Amino acid sequence: MAIRLYDSLTRSVKELRRPDPNDPSDVFRFYNCGPTVYAPAHIGNFRTFLVNDVIRRLLVLEFGKDKVTHVRNLTDVDDKTIRRAREESRPLAAVTKQWTDKFHADCRALNCLDPHLEPTATGHIAEQVKMIEELMQKGHAYRTADGSVYFKVSSFGGYGALSRVKERELSLGSALAGKPQTVDADEKEDGSDFALWKAWKPEDGPNKWPGPADAAPGRPGWHIECSAMSKKHLGDTIDLHTGGVDLLFPHHENEIAQSECCNGAQFSRHWYHSEHLLVDGKKMSKSLGNLYTLDDLTAKGFSPMALRYALLSGHPRKQLNFTFDSLHAAESALTTIHSFWQSLRGGNGPAGHFDEVVAALKDDLNAPAALGAFFSIVKRGPHGVSKEACDKALFALGLKPDFVARPQKDAPSEIIALADKRWAAKQAKDFATADALRKELTAAGWAMLDGKDGYKLEPLKKA
C-alpha cells in the first residue's frame, strides 16, 4: 500500500511516488522547513517536527533507507536571531549555535531521526546571492535605492496558486502602494513584492555579507534561503515540501515564485502542511507568550516520549489543544505498551494486525487511527504476536519500545537524551559506551540509577 498524503497545492490526497521507480539511483527528495534558532523550540514547533519525522519514517519503510534524502534547514540569520544577538551583546553565531544544540538535544529526546542534511542560511550565502542575481537578470527582481533587492510578484503568473491569496493579498498590496508608505513597503514597486536581499542597517551590527552584483552588502531575506538550499542539495524539483500551516503563506508561496522563476521547473511535486498546536484555543507561539518547552514538561516530571505520544494523538491536519491531561494519559498508555512489548517473545511470526497501524499512517497520516489499531492489538494480549511486526509499528510512530515511564527530577532534555543513550548501550551490553556516558552524566551533575526495567535520574548533591 502506497503512502497517501494530502497535497496543499491540488487540495487532494495524492500518492507519494519516487519520480522514477525504475531508476535504482533515484531517491525521494524531502525538504522540511526547519527552526529559527534564537530560543528553545516550543512544543507547538515540535508538533510540526514530529509529524515530519513520521513522514520520514514512512518514506524509509516505503522506499528503503537509502532511497530517501531528507533535508531540514536551520534559519540562523533573520530579524529575530539578529535582535537576540544584539540584546545579549553576543556574536550571532554564538546565539544560533546555543539554540541549534538545544534543538538537537530536544529532537534526540523526542526520538526524531536526524535529517540527512541540515544546511544553514549563513552557510549558503553564495548560493542565495547567485539565485538573486539570476532572478534580477531574468527581470523577476529589482534593486531599490538603498541597495536591497525585491522580488517582483507581478512578474510571476503562478503567484498565489498554493495559498489562493492572489485576490486578497495583492489587492492589499496595491492599496498599500497608494497610501503613505509603511517602512516595510518603502521603495517597493508594489506592496506585495518581498525582499530577496536586505541592505545592511546599523541595527544589523557586524552581520553583513557581500550582496548580489549592484546591490549593497547586507543579508538574504528569509524565503530565498529555502529555495537556494533545496536547489543545492536536492535539485530543481523536489518530491515533497512540508512545514506548519503558517508557512503556507507567504513563505512557501514565495519559495515557489523564486524557485520556478529562477529554475524554469516545477519546484515541489507535493506540499504538506500540518496544523497548529493550541493552548486554550489560541496558537502556541513565542509572540503570545503562551508556550511550553520540552524542558518545562520534563521539569514537571513528564517524559519526552509522553509528549511525542500526546502530540501524535491528534490528526495532523486538525488543530490540537494541548492539555496536561493528555500527557498523563500518554504516560499511562506508554506504560501499557512497554509491558506488552516486554512480554513479546521475539521472532518473526505473522504480522497479525500490526500492518493496520502502518496502514493508518500511510492513509494521510491518520495517527489517531494508528494508535487505536495499536491498542486493539494490545488489548487482545501478546499471544502469537510477532515482535518484529510490533517493532515495525513502533518504528513508524517513533515510539521507543524500551521506553520506561520514570519520574524525572527536572532533568533537561539533553540529560535525558544522554541517559537514554546510556540505557540503550547497557541493554546492548556495550559497557564501555555505557560507562563513558555515565561519566558525562556525572560531569553534568546527574546520577543515573539503574533498575530492572528502566532508570531514574537524580541531581547529584553539590559538594
Sites of contact with ligand AMP (CB under 6 A)? 33, 35-36, 44-45, 47-48, 75, 243-244, 246-247, 276-277, 283-285
Q: How far is the CB of 30 from ligand AMP (least distance, A)?
A: 14
226 binds, among ligand AMP, Zn ion, none (CB under 5 to 8 A by kind): Zn ion
Q: What is the closest distance, in whole angstroms, from the C-beta atom of residue 332 to Zn ion in the complex?
A: 37
Q: Cβ-closest residue to ligand AMP? A: 244
Single out the residue of 186, 180, 107, 112 nearest to residue 146, CA to CA: 186
Q: At what angle do helices 354-362 and 387-397 cross, to 10 degrees?
A: 20
The nearer residue to ligand AMP, 75 or 230, going by C-beta atoms, is 75
| Least distance to ligand AMP, CB of residue 244, Å | 2
For residues 123 and 225, give the distance between their C-alpha atoms in angstroms, rounded to a whole number.
10
Q: How is residue 115 annotated by DSSP?
A: P
* Residue given cell 496595491 in the structure block: 174
The strands making up 277-279's β-sheet, listed across from edge to edge, are 282-283, 277-279, 320-321
Within positions 224 to 253, which residues make up the interface with Zn ion, using CB under 5 A?
A: 226
Residue identified by cell 487540495 is 11
Question: Which option in ligand AMP, Zn ion, none does residue 244 bind, with CB closer than 5 to 8 A by kind?
Answer: ligand AMP
Nearer to Zn ion (CB atom), residue 73 or residue 298: 73
The window from 2-10, 62-70, 218-226, 287-295 that contacts Zn ion (CB under 5 A) reads: 218-226
- Chosen from Zn ion, ligand AMP, none, partner binding at 221 (C-beta under 5 to 8 Å by type): none
C-beta closer to Zn ion: residue 33 or 385:
33
Q: What is the DSSP string of 160-211?
A: TTTT--IIIIIHHHHHHHHSSPPTTTTT-SSTT-EEEEEE--GGGTT--B--
Between 16 and 33, name the residue whose CB sits nearer to Zn ion. 33
Q: Which is nearer to ligand AMP, 251 or 426 (CB)?
A: 251
Q: What angle, rounded to 10 degrees, do the helices at 92-109 and 413-427 form? A: 50
Report the distance separating Cα 327 and Cα 201, nearest Å.
45
Closer residue to ligand AMP (CB): 307 or 389: 307
Q: Which residues of 105-115 are buried (b: 16+ CB within 10 A; e: fewer)?
A: bbbbbbbbeeb
Smallest gap, in angstroms, from Cβ of residue 372 to Zn ion?
A: 33
297 scored as a contact of Zn ion (CB under 5 A): no
Q: Which residue do the cell numbers 552581520 mark?
A: 207
* Least distance from ligand AMP to the Cβ atom of residue 47, Å: 4
Smallest distance, Zn ion to C-beta of residue 232, A = 14
Q: How many angstroms separate the CA atoms of 143 and 198, rounded?
A: 10
**Quick one: which segment of 29-37, 117-125, 145-153, 331-339 binds Zn ion (CB under 5 A)?**
29-37
Judged by CB under 5 A, the residue of 5, 33, 361, 418 near Zn ion is 33
75 or 192, CB closer to ligand AMP?
A: 75
Cα–Cα distances in angstroms (integers) from residue 103 to residues 55, 153, 378, in the given order: 19, 34, 33
Quote the distance between the C-alpha of residue 418 and its chain's center.
Answer: 22
Closest separation in Å from C-beta 105 to ligand AMP: 16
Beta-carbon contacts of residue 75 (< 8 Å; ≥ 6 apart): 34, 35, 36, 37, 81, 121, 222, 225
By beta-carbon proximity to ligand AMP, the closer residue of 48 and 122 is: 48
CB of 400 to ligand AMP, least distance (A): 22
Binding site for Zn ion (CB under 5 A): 33, 226
